Amino acid sequence: MILHTVNKTGESLSRCLSLALQGDAVLLIEDGVYAAMDNTANRQTWEAIPSNLTCYVLVEDLAARGLSDKMLPQVTPANWTSFVSLTTEYDKVISWG
Amino acid sequence: MKFTLVINGAPWSSPSAHTALKFAETALSSGHEIYRLFFYQDGVGNASRYCVVPQDEEDIPARWETLITTHGIDAVVCAASALKHGVLDTDESERYDKEGANLRSGFTVSGLGQFIDAATQSDRVVSFVN
Protein backbone atom coordinates (compact mmCIF):
# COMPACT_ATOMS: atom_id res chain seq x y z
CA MET A 1 0.00 0.00 0.00
CA ILE A 2 1.20 3.42 -0.99
CA LEU A 3 1.02 6.89 0.49
CA HIS A 4 0.63 9.47 -2.28
CA THR A 5 1.62 13.02 -1.42
CA VAL A 6 0.11 15.64 -3.71
CA ASN A 7 1.36 19.23 -3.61
CA LYS A 8 -0.83 20.77 -6.33
CA THR A 9 -4.42 20.53 -7.44
CA GLY A 10 -5.47 19.97 -11.06
CA GLU A 11 -3.43 17.61 -13.21
CA SER A 12 -1.20 16.33 -10.34
CA LEU A 13 -4.19 15.33 -8.24
CA SER A 14 -6.22 13.82 -11.08
CA ARG A 15 -3.24 11.73 -12.28
CA CYS A 16 -2.70 10.53 -8.72
CA LEU A 17 -6.37 9.66 -8.17
CA SER A 18 -6.57 7.81 -11.48
CA LEU A 19 -3.66 5.54 -10.46
CA ALA A 20 -4.09 5.18 -6.68
CA LEU A 21 -5.27 1.73 -5.66
CA GLN A 22 -7.72 0.64 -2.99
CA GLY A 23 -6.05 0.70 0.40
CA ASP A 24 -3.71 3.52 -0.57
CA ALA A 25 -3.86 6.96 1.04
CA VAL A 26 -3.56 10.45 -0.37
CA LEU A 27 -1.98 13.24 1.67
CA LEU A 28 -2.60 16.78 0.42
CA ILE A 29 0.29 19.13 1.16
CA GLU A 30 1.38 22.65 0.10
CA ASP A 31 -0.96 23.97 -2.65
CA GLY A 32 -2.55 20.52 -2.85
CA VAL A 33 -4.57 21.47 0.25
CA TYR A 34 -6.87 23.54 -1.98
CA ALA A 35 -8.44 20.19 -2.95
CA ALA A 36 -9.63 19.85 0.66
CA MET A 37 -11.71 23.05 0.49
CA ASP A 38 -15.44 22.54 0.81
CA ASN A 39 -16.81 23.45 -2.62
CA THR A 40 -18.88 21.71 -5.28
CA ALA A 41 -15.98 20.63 -7.50
CA ASN A 42 -13.99 19.14 -4.60
CA ARG A 43 -17.04 17.41 -3.16
CA GLN A 44 -17.57 15.70 -6.52
CA THR A 45 -13.89 14.69 -6.67
CA TRP A 46 -13.90 13.00 -3.26
CA GLU A 47 -17.32 11.41 -3.70
CA ALA A 48 -16.08 9.72 -6.88
CA ILE A 49 -13.08 7.95 -5.32
CA PRO A 50 -13.25 4.45 -3.75
CA SER A 51 -14.33 4.53 -0.10
CA ASN A 52 -11.20 2.74 1.09
CA LEU A 53 -8.85 5.35 -0.39
CA THR A 54 -8.23 7.60 2.62
CA CYS A 55 -7.53 11.27 2.10
CA TYR A 56 -5.53 13.32 4.59
CA VAL A 57 -4.64 17.00 4.55
CA LEU A 58 -1.67 18.68 6.24
CA VAL A 59 -3.43 21.11 8.59
CA GLU A 60 -0.46 23.47 8.89
CA ASP A 61 -0.55 24.07 5.12
CA LEU A 62 -4.33 24.47 5.28
CA ALA A 63 -3.99 27.07 8.06
CA ALA A 64 -1.23 28.91 6.15
CA ARG A 65 -3.75 29.44 3.35
CA GLY A 66 -6.61 30.52 5.65
CA LEU A 67 -8.65 27.38 4.96
CA SER A 68 -8.80 25.77 8.42
CA ASP A 69 -12.57 26.25 8.78
CA LYS A 70 -13.37 25.36 5.16
CA MET A 71 -12.32 21.72 5.16
CA LEU A 72 -14.39 18.99 3.53
CA PRO A 73 -15.71 16.37 5.99
CA GLN A 74 -14.39 13.54 3.76
CA VAL A 75 -10.80 14.65 4.42
CA THR A 76 -8.92 13.69 7.59
CA PRO A 77 -6.70 16.33 9.23
CA ALA A 78 -3.01 15.42 9.71
CA ASN A 79 -0.24 17.37 11.45
CA TRP A 80 3.54 17.02 10.92
CA THR A 81 3.75 14.10 13.34
CA SER A 82 0.92 12.33 11.49
CA PHE A 83 2.72 12.99 8.16
CA VAL A 84 5.80 11.17 9.47
CA SER A 85 3.66 8.35 10.93
CA LEU A 86 1.78 7.90 7.65
CA THR A 87 5.06 7.38 5.77
CA THR A 88 5.90 4.56 8.19
CA GLU A 89 2.44 2.97 8.04
CA TYR A 90 2.45 2.67 4.24
CA ASP A 91 5.04 0.59 2.36
CA LYS A 92 6.12 3.31 -0.06
CA VAL A 93 5.69 7.02 -0.65
CA ILE A 94 5.02 8.50 -4.09
CA SER A 95 5.29 12.29 -4.44
CA TRP A 96 3.14 13.88 -7.10
CA GLY A 97 4.11 17.36 -8.25
CA MET B 1 12.79 3.78 10.96
CA LYS B 2 15.60 4.89 8.67
CA PHE B 3 14.60 7.67 6.28
CA THR B 4 16.23 9.17 3.22
CA LEU B 5 14.81 12.46 2.03
CA VAL B 6 15.24 13.78 -1.50
CA ILE B 7 14.99 17.55 -1.70
CA ASN B 8 14.29 18.81 -5.23
CA GLY B 9 13.24 22.40 -4.57
CA ALA B 10 15.25 25.56 -3.93
CA PRO B 11 14.26 27.45 -0.78
CA TRP B 12 13.24 30.51 -2.81
CA SER B 13 11.14 28.88 -5.54
CA SER B 14 8.64 26.52 -3.93
CA PRO B 15 7.38 25.42 -0.51
CA SER B 16 8.95 21.97 -0.93
CA ALA B 17 12.25 22.80 0.80
CA HIS B 18 10.31 24.06 3.83
CA THR B 19 8.15 20.92 3.78
CA ALA B 20 11.24 18.69 3.65
CA LEU B 21 12.89 20.58 6.50
CA LYS B 22 9.79 20.34 8.71
CA PHE B 23 9.48 16.64 7.87
CA ALA B 24 13.14 16.04 8.79
CA GLU B 25 12.79 17.92 12.09
CA THR B 26 9.61 16.02 12.97
CA ALA B 27 11.04 12.62 11.99
CA LEU B 28 14.05 13.19 14.26
CA SER B 29 11.96 14.45 17.17
CA SER B 30 9.70 11.40 16.75
CA GLY B 31 12.70 9.11 17.29
CA HIS B 32 13.41 8.16 13.68
CA GLU B 33 16.80 8.18 12.00
CA ILE B 34 17.78 10.04 8.84
CA TYR B 35 20.19 7.94 6.83
CA ARG B 36 20.82 10.62 4.24
CA LEU B 37 19.52 13.91 2.88
CA PHE B 38 19.97 14.03 -0.88
CA PHE B 39 19.79 17.49 -2.43
CA TYR B 40 19.02 17.16 -6.12
CA GLN B 41 18.25 19.50 -9.04
CA ASP B 42 17.09 22.92 -7.73
CA GLY B 43 17.36 21.51 -4.20
CA VAL B 44 21.11 22.22 -4.23
CA GLY B 45 20.16 25.86 -3.55
CA ASN B 46 19.62 24.79 0.07
CA ALA B 47 23.36 24.17 0.36
CA SER B 48 24.57 27.62 -0.68
CA ARG B 49 26.01 29.77 2.05
CA TYR B 50 25.83 32.84 -0.22
CA CYS B 51 22.02 33.05 0.15
CA VAL B 52 21.02 36.11 2.15
CA VAL B 53 17.48 35.85 3.44
CA PRO B 54 15.47 38.94 4.51
CA GLN B 55 15.14 39.20 8.30
CA ASP B 56 11.38 38.59 8.27
CA GLU B 57 11.71 35.40 6.24
CA GLU B 58 12.68 31.92 7.33
CA ASP B 59 16.37 31.17 6.64
CA ILE B 60 15.88 27.63 5.33
CA PRO B 61 19.54 26.97 4.32
CA ALA B 62 20.70 28.03 7.81
CA ARG B 63 18.12 25.75 9.42
CA TRP B 64 19.31 22.82 7.30
CA GLU B 65 22.88 23.50 8.39
CA THR B 66 21.87 23.58 12.06
CA LEU B 67 19.87 20.35 11.72
CA ILE B 68 22.66 18.57 9.83
CA THR B 69 25.47 19.61 12.16
CA THR B 70 23.45 19.11 15.37
CA HIS B 71 22.38 15.59 14.45
CA GLY B 72 25.45 14.62 12.38
CA ILE B 73 23.30 13.80 9.35
CA ASP B 74 24.87 12.76 6.05
CA ALA B 75 23.83 15.55 3.64
CA VAL B 76 24.78 14.96 0.02
CA VAL B 77 24.53 17.50 -2.78
CA CYS B 78 24.34 16.10 -6.32
CA ALA B 79 27.57 17.12 -8.04
CA ALA B 80 26.13 17.72 -11.53
CA SER B 81 23.22 19.78 -10.16
CA ALA B 82 25.52 21.72 -7.84
CA LEU B 83 27.90 22.72 -10.65
CA LYS B 84 25.02 23.87 -12.87
CA HIS B 85 23.52 25.93 -10.06
CA GLY B 86 26.81 27.48 -8.95
CA VAL B 87 27.13 25.63 -5.65
CA LEU B 88 30.83 24.76 -5.33
CA ASP B 89 33.04 23.34 -2.65
CA THR B 90 36.72 24.31 -2.47
CA ASP B 91 37.90 21.44 -4.73
CA GLU B 92 35.34 22.17 -7.47
CA SER B 93 36.02 25.89 -7.25
CA GLU B 94 39.72 25.31 -7.86
CA ARG B 95 39.12 22.71 -10.56
CA TYR B 96 36.92 25.07 -12.60
CA ASP B 97 38.97 28.14 -11.78
CA LYS B 98 36.16 30.00 -9.99
CA GLU B 99 36.46 32.58 -7.25
CA GLY B 100 35.21 31.43 -3.88
CA ALA B 101 33.44 28.33 -2.67
CA ASN B 102 29.93 28.52 -1.28
CA LEU B 103 29.01 25.04 -0.06
CA ARG B 104 27.67 25.26 3.48
CA SER B 105 29.37 23.30 6.21
CA GLY B 106 27.78 19.94 6.88
CA PHE B 107 27.08 19.28 3.18
CA THR B 108 29.22 17.15 0.87
CA VAL B 109 29.26 17.02 -2.93
CA SER B 110 28.79 13.55 -4.38
CA GLY B 111 26.90 11.66 -7.06
CA LEU B 112 23.69 9.77 -7.74
CA GLY B 113 25.41 6.60 -6.51
CA GLN B 114 24.89 8.00 -3.03
CA PHE B 115 21.18 8.17 -3.72
CA ILE B 116 21.08 4.54 -4.93
CA ASP B 117 22.97 3.49 -1.80
CA ALA B 118 20.53 5.45 0.36
CA ALA B 119 17.53 3.88 -1.38
CA THR B 120 18.83 0.39 -0.61
CA GLN B 121 19.85 1.17 2.98
CA SER B 122 16.75 3.11 4.11
CA ASP B 123 13.33 1.87 5.17
CA ARG B 124 11.65 4.79 3.43
CA VAL B 125 12.63 7.25 0.73
CA VAL B 126 10.49 10.39 0.72
CA SER B 127 10.85 12.89 -2.14
CA PHE B 128 9.89 16.53 -1.85
CA VAL B 129 9.15 17.67 -5.36
CA ASN B 130 8.63 21.12 -6.83
Contact in structure between B107 and B82 (CB atoms under 8 Å): no
B113: Cβ contacts below 8 Å, ≥ 6 apart: none
Give the per-residue pLDDT at B87. Answer: 98
Q: What is the CATH number of the domain that holds A26?
A: 3.40.1260.10
Instruction: Say how far apart CA B5 and CA B1 lie, in whole Å.
Output: 13
Residue B76 sits in a domain whose CATH number is 3.40.1260.10
Buried-state track A46-56, b at ≥16 Cβ within 10 A, e below 16:
beebeeebbbb
Positions in chain B whose pLDDT score sits under 70: none
Strands B75-78 vs B2-7: parallel, antiparallel or unpaired:
unpaired
Percent helix, strand and coil across chain B, each to the nearest 5: 40, 20, 35
Confidence of residue A51 (pLDDT cuts 50, 70, 90): confident
What is the ipTM for the molecules in this complex? 0.96
User: Do the beta carbons of residue A24 and residue A44 sit within 8 Å?
Assistant: no
pLDDT tens digits along B77-110: 999 999 999 999 999 999 999 999 999 999 999 9
Say yes or no for a CB contact (<8 Å) between B127 and A93.
yes
Q: Which domain holds residue B100?
A: 2-128
Give how many domains chain B has, as a whole number: 1
The one-letter code for the residue type at A36 is A
* pLDDT for res A50: 84
Please state the domain count of chain A. Answer: 1
Q: Which chain B residues are Cβ-neighbours of A13 within 8 angstroms?
A: none
What CA–CA distances, in Å, run from B2 to A56, A87, B24, B34, B57? 23, 11, 11, 6, 31
- What are the residues whose beta carbons fall under 8 Å from the beta carbon of A18, sequence distance 6 or more? none
- Residues 58-87, chain A, touching B (beta carbon < 8 A): 60-61, 80-81, 83-85, 87
For residue A79, the enclosing domain spans 2-96
Select which of B67, B77, B78, B109 is catalytic.
Answer: B78
